[in-house]
Structure 1
Amino acid sequence: MKGRVGIGARKASNAHDADGKIEGKPFSPYRVFTREEWARLRADTPMTLQPHELEQLSGIIEEVSVEEVEEIYLPLSRLLNLYVAAAQKLYSVSSEFLGRKDTKVPFVIGVAGSVAVGKSTTARILKALLARWPDHPRVDLMTTDGFLYPNAELERRGLMDRKGFPESFDTERLLRFLGNIKSGVAQVSAPVYSHFQYDVLPGQEITIEQPDILIIEGLNILQPAEMPKDGTTVPFVSDFIDFAIYIDADFSTIEKWYLARFMRLRSTAFRDPGAYFHKYATIAPDEARRTALDLWRNINLKNLEQNILPTRRRAQLILQKGESHRVKAALLRKL
């Protein structure tokens, strides 16, 4: 099994310095909120999700609780609602200054972080909550997985063992997609990825039609491009993101989640003979755990250390998770 499914024995901690303090100096670009402090920022934001909806929003190993939504995601939805309103006003003022009527431009929210850290669950919860606000009822969600090169191309380039690394994505196509989104193009198409088949589905696309908000979730969406020495313009994916969220946790905690997810998939989705990873449903449990350990250590952990974690401080908000996917702190950029 290659690529993005994870767990390793390597023990490390990466969350303790997420406040961005510079060694030897007290300065930090983030304001740090405890869970209790963040929860109070909900103010009077109403709970708009029903218990049966929380079940649908939960991940493979991550059960979404009413408490988590009320204390973490309702304050966040309130904050994002304020950001969207401010962005709408700015677009209006800019259009008036330029003497033109611009087309509708979606507010783009990015959700970044490691494999198995809970990006997809966070994105689904935000989509559900933000769509309940009256000023922006149309909220779309997509992942960057569709912009991975197809497996055949990855094999040709010798990148199957680096699937999920920045070089395994068709970044030029992703930038064109986001450029069209932020230019107000009425209909923008994106390729479709199947985790069941572990590949981009040929000939299949999804169409984004000018939503109020677009949530885009992916491993490397905050990854900067290599800067040219001649100073020419090079767009980053993050240039098109209005508000970026990084989901953070200690390496050892993510390892546990990855292994748990692998073993859960082994007893569910992998059992289908048509699944790309069906072979892992038939091996012994101990062998399956060793396989997951190898995948995490040699692929996913390396990608996290080399490419994903270094982008953490480019996010406007860092959500630090503890055990059981429970957010223990929120770090909001103040600069």
Structure 2
Amino acid sequence: MPLLAPPYVVFDRAQWAALRGGTSLALSEIDLPALAGVNDPATLADVVELILPLVRLVDLHIAAARSLSAMVEGAFVGQPRATVPYVIAVAGSVAVGKSTFARLLQAVLARGEQHPRVDLVATDGFLYPTETLQANGLMERKGFPESYDLRKMLAFLEGVKAGTPDLRVPIYSHESYDVLPGRYQSVDRPDILIFEGLNVLQTANSSAAVASDFFDFTIYLDADSATIEKWYIDRFLKLQRTVFQRKTSYFHNYRELTPEAASDLARDIWRRINLPNLTDNIEPTKRRARVVMRKGENHRIEEVWLRQT
């Protein structure tokens, strides 16, 4: 039996996998390399044991939300309207595996008959351009809440929920470490939108709207901070041997560091920037998530926490 840890029911991996029900597997081994991240593997076991039960749960929530919407708009308002996109948020630390997880979730959801159009948007596109961050002394606060154009992000989410066609999201390049001028991702009334980012569950100390006002379902990827630090350093070393070697990389000047020097630099960046952001801004939002998926040291999700309220 799953454990009770109010307000959560806590499942181990096997218990969670058993909740898959009749949800079918629509991916194969050949689909996985394109979905995996840097130093973040994706396996069919993850899809079967973790993503499929989650998709079943999401489908139940979508059906309930649309049934309630139909009753309110039809029976009460008397004016049914088009189905609005269902928005799923995925939050968690730098290097915890959000992007890989979100891509796997998108791939499985998009193969469902009820919602064939599933878009994935990362909050990176709403970061202020490097020029703006530098002018305001925020380069070492990149990823902190104040480094995002919150007004633009909220306008996008409001447009999604309003059914606005052909919304545009700026495209961010991890290679150039900047928003690409004049480059956009088009979002045109999908059945489901997955919105992935560090601080998506953040609240505000005012009456202003926050991103989570527009979310229907929320997921937090979790792991011990010491474990995430190791993943961050491992990823940095892999990027230093690959992407950083390109002249177009913002971090090209790190290309010739020794492994020891690169490890020391990555550790310093983590402890000076990413760990404070995790501790002060990201981790405190964990208990706002409907589902918390907790990883062990080998990137394997070992526990799933399902909020009861």
Give the TM bin, normalised by the shorter chain: over 0.9
Residue 163, structure 1, aligned to residue 142, structure 2: yes
Residue 292, structure 1, aligned to residue 231, structure 2: no
For residue 191 of structure 2, the aligned residue among 196, 212, 221 is 212
Amino acid at match of 2:88: I
C-alpha distance in structure 1 between counterparts of 2:171 and 2:131, whole Å: 16
Gaps of 5+ in 1: 1-18, 20-25, 228-232
CA apart distance, 1:27 = 6.4
Match of 1:87 in 2: 65
What secondary structure, in the 3-state scheme, does the structure 2 residue paired with 1:325 have?
Answer: coil
Residue 51, structure 1, aligned to residue 29, structure 2: yes
In the TM superposition, structure 1's runs of 4+ consecutive aligned residues that sit over 4 Å from their partners are none
C-alpha distance in structure 2 between counterparts of 1:64 and 1:54, whole Å: 6
Residue 247, structure 1, aligned to residue 221, structure 2: yes
What secondary structure, in the 3-state scheme, does the structure 1 residue paired with 2:201 have?
Answer: coil
What secondary structure, in the 3-state scheme, does the structure 1 residue paired with 2:32 have?
Answer: helix
Of structures 1 and 2, the one with the larger relative CO (CA 8 A, separation 6+) is 1
C-alpha distance in structure 2 between counterparts of 1:256 and 1:210, whole Å: 39
> Contact conserved, 1:62 with 1:324, CA < 8 A, in 2?
no
Residue 276, structure 1, aligned to residue 250, structure 2: yes
C-alpha distance in structure 2 between counterparts of 1:114 and 1:205, whole Å: 25
Match of 1:319 in 2: 293
C-alpha distance in structure 2 between counterparts of 1:133 and 1:69, whole Å: 14
Equivalence map 1:253-264=2 (5 Å): 253-264=227-238
CA apart distance, 1:205 = 1.5
- Deviation per residue, 1:112-146 (Å, 9 max, x gap): 00000000011000000001110111000010001
C-alpha distance in structure 2 between counterparts of 1:63 and 1:182, whole Å: 33
Percent identity reads 50
> Contact conserved, 1:81 with 1:133, CA < 8 A, in 2?
no
Residue 32, structure 1, aligned to residue 6, structure 2: no
Question: TM-score under structure 2 normalisation?
Answer: 0.96
C-alpha distance in structure 2 between counterparts of 1:198 and 1:204, whole Å: 14
Amino acid at match of 1:66: L
- Deviation per residue, 1:61-114 (Å, 9 max, x gap): 111111111111111111111111222222222220211132331000000000
Equivalence map 1:86-235=2 (5 Å): 86-96=64-74, 97-227=76-206, 233-235=207-209
Amino acid at match of 1:81: D
Amino acid at match of 1:55: P
Amino acid at match of 2:44: V
> Contact conserved, 1:243 with 1:316, CA < 8 A, in 2?
yes
Question: TM-score under structure 1 normalisation?
Answer: 0.89
What secondary structure, in the 3-state scheme, does the structure 2 residue paired with 1:48 have?
Answer: coil
CA apart distance, 1:190 = 1.3
> Contact conserved, 1:104 with 1:210, CA < 8 A, in 2?
no
C-alpha distance in structure 2 between counterparts of 1:154 and 1:275, whole Å: 18
CA apart distance, 1:187 = 2.0
Larger mean CA deviation between 213-222 and 59-68 belongs to 59-68
How many residue pairs get matched? Answer: 306
What secondary structure, in the 3-state scheme, does the structure 2 residue paired with 1:216 have?
Answer: strand
Amino acid at match of 1:164: G
Match of 2:39 in 1: 61
Root mean square deviation, CA, Å: 1.3
